[in-house]
Structure 1
Amino acid sequence: MKILKRIAITISVLTLSGTLFLGLKFGMRYYKSYQNEEILTNTILDNEISSSDYTKAERLKNGQILSKKIINLSEILPIWTTISENDSLLHAYKYLDNINFYVIVYKSDLLLVNGIIAEPKKEGRFPVIIFNRGGNKEIGKVAKAKTLYSLITTASKLADEDYLLIASCYREEDEIGGDDLNDVLNLTETIKSIDKADATRIGMYGWSRGGMMTYLSLKNSTKIKTAVVGNGPSDLEALIIDRPEMDSRVCAKLIPEYDKNKTKELQKRSVINWADELDKNASLLILCGTEDEQVHPNQADLIAHKLEEINYDFKLEKVKTDHTFSNKKEELNRLLLSWFKENL
């Protein structure tokens, strides 16, 4: 009996410890998110879209810009503190001095949506790369900060190499591959009003969820000359098997009619089911981190095999790294620049 009692006490202690650990972990994550949101208050990213903005935008067409404001990175503290030291850019980010960043509001369907632009400071007209960030369900200033941070850490080196980058923050009623796809596709119209953008040369680059958005864009548009997908899911049904929490925490909450048409909605967002509908005139680079724990590396293999079967113009590059290529940023930049210089 004493042994059973000790075992019960041990199990209770371990359970309590685990609960406290998880509570602390998620509590700290929530606190950090809340803290960053507070820090963003009264910055250029804090401007909310108002009813008067919608009145002003009534005559705008899809993609047209309602407002455009320059971003001072040093004022966006959650981002600035990660790319600077002693109030100066770290050596790895010194090139950002050559780039102007803007936050825009543009028309998409009947909505106004936020976006981010990164363009070379020097004069000229530059090929455009539409950047699709990862992540889901962020709104307002947090969505803008997340898009800006993702663009800086994942794609901004391209702007220093004479490309103009533009990214949608996605509509606030996120559908992860539903009507929010229009927020991406309408950017092909937005760039027509940007002086430094060469609207005849459009590429696309998407990471994680943004990779899914890129596959969908290649299915629904013929304006994208070439694209890059980094660790993007190609089969959402398989993704949910690998990560069951995605089912209830993400898909069920954000995808319309998910509870009634789960299989249909997942397949609509999974390129593995409609690879033959991708624009045949476009080309594609698939980047795969072989140690990715968020999107299983076999997702890249699945779509690569499918694209081989239909003789699609693509290339698969595998790199021994994680989901964000955290220890391979230089190699990531080299692969991106080489691809877009050759294909865009």
Structure 2
Amino acid sequence: MNRILILIFLFFSISFGFTQNQKLLSKKLVDISKTPIWNKISQNNELKTNFKHLKKLNFYFITYQSDNSKVKGLLIEPKNQGKYPVVIFNRGGNRHFGKLTLATMIIYTSKLAEQGYVIIGSNYRKKDEFGGAEINDVLNLTKIIKDIKKADSDCIGMFGWSRGGIMTYLALQKSDKIKTAVVGNGPTDLFGLISDRPEMESKVIAECVPNYSENKESELKKRSVIYWADELDKNSSLLILCGNNDKRVNPEQADRIAEKTNKN
């Protein structure tokens, strides 16, 4: 009898988990005047000229279910009523470095939001695999936006810089929901990246990627679009940006993937 009860409990627990997956769990409006960035974007308790556009926007902290994780993120919506195209913003960095914050969203995405876009971004799950299982946290955003009234779930774009570029390439490999994407100097070949910056292997990749030492070649290839460029969604447009003075990612990586995608 006890065994039967345990099985029934597990069945309902798993079923409940599946029903909650890809769901927006909370959406909390943020008063930006009560956040740390306010002192930088205001003067005499009024928004500075360069930030007046923020008056047209609402900012939210969100939590959503992705697989078995509750993932936190941020959302920007125009205050005016309507249905707006969506841009998924993929943060860079790893673990706590480069964490998505209200300041990040204001500086990098708020002027785009003002033009009539819903912007949403994820901080990824706690166990960062640097392009591993947490790609689902990005892909699931394409589903939870259906819970956002102002978001047009049939019109989704994506933007990622640096490590966020890796996430964007992976999303284009695994999803056909992204109409257009912009990548800002995202690594395209992790073998080249660790050759240029050995500390990226020892201090980031080896610490984040599960069983890295045993599966180094296959795990690096999984995260290197140069090896599977032909698998990117061919119905999605892609803009690749890079800076010649970027010290984190060799700009030649952008040149190589641009050449390869043009052939495809």
TM over 0.5: yes
* In structure 2, C-alpha distance between the alignment counterparts of 1:308 and 1:150, rounded to whole Å: 32
Does structure 1 residue 217 correspond to structure 2 residue 171? yes
Does structure 1 residue 149 correspond to structure 2 residue 119? no
Q: Report the residue type matching 1:65 in the other structure.
A: L
5+ long unaligned stretches in structure 2: 1-12
Match for residue 61 of structure 2? 103
* In structure 2, C-alpha distance between the alignment counterparts of 1:86 and 1:257, rounded to whole Å: 53
SS of structure 2 residue aligned to 1:306: helix
* In structure 2, C-alpha distance between the alignment counterparts of 1:155 and 1:73, rounded to whole Å: 15
- 22, 27, 30: which is aligned to 1:63? 22
Post-superposition CA distance 1:239-289 (Å, at most 9, x none): 111111111111011111111111211110010000000001111011111
Does structure 1 residue 174 correspond to structure 2 residue 128? yes
Match for residue 336 of structure 1? none
- 248, 252, 260: which is aligned to 1:294? 248
Question: Shift of residue 173 of structure 1?
Answer: 0.7
- 91, 97, 104: which is aligned to 1:133? 91
* In structure 2, C-alpha distance between the alignment counterparts of 1:230 and 1:182, rounded to whole Å: 21
SS of structure 1 residue aligned to 2:160: strand
Structure label with greater radius of gyration: 1
Structure with the largest fraction of helix: 1
Structure with the largest fraction of strand: 2
Match for residue 83 of structure 1? 41
Question: Shift of residue 76 of structure 1?
Answer: 2.0
Q: Report the residue type matching 1:133 in the other structure.
A: R
* In structure 2, C-alpha distance between the alignment counterparts of 1:224 and 1:265, rounded to whole Å: 24
Question: Shift of residue 309 of structure 1?
Answer: 1.7
Match for residue 92 of structure 1? 50
Question: Shift of residue 94 of structure 1?
Answer: 1.6
Change (3 A) 1:91 1:273: same
Match for residue 315 of structure 1? none
Question: Shift of residue 226 of structure 1?
Answer: 0.6
Post-superposition CA distance 1:130-172 (Å, at most 9, x none): 1101111029xx94xx333222211221110001011011001
SS of structure 2 residue aligned to 1:165: strand
Match for residue 3 of structure 2? none
Q: Report the residue type matching 2:33 in the other structure.
A: S
Match for residue 331 of structure 1? none
* In structure 1, C-alpha distance between the alignment counterparts of 2:197 and 2:39, rounded to whole Å: 32
- 72, 87, 90: which is aligned to 2:31? 72
Match for residue 163 of structure 1? 117
Decide whether the 8 Å contact of 1:138 with 1:172 is kept in 2: no
Change (3 A) 1:210 1:237: same
Post-superposition CA distance 1:212-255 (Å, at most 9, x none): 10000000000111100012111111111111111111101111
Question: Shift of residue 59 of structure 1?
Answer: 6.3
Change (3 A) 1:136 1:81: farther
SS of structure 1 residue aligned to 2:120: strand
* In structure 2, C-alpha distance between the alignment counterparts of 1:87 and 1:60, rounded to whole Å: 44
Change (3 A) 1:82 1:299: farther
Decide whether the 8 Å contact of 1:133 with 1:147 is kept in 2: no
- 48, 70, 81: which is aligned to 1:123? 81
Question: Shift of residue 58 of structure 1?
Answer: 4.2
Q: Could you say what the CA RMSD is over the residues aligned between the two structures, in angstroms?
A: 1.9
Q: Report the residue type matching 2:158 in the other structure.
A: M
Task: Report matched runs for 1:1-344 at 5 Å.
Answer: 58=17, 60-77=19-36, 79-138=37-96, 143=99, 146-310=100-264
Q: What is the aligned-residue identity percentage? A: 55
TM-score normalised by the chain length of structure 2: 0.90
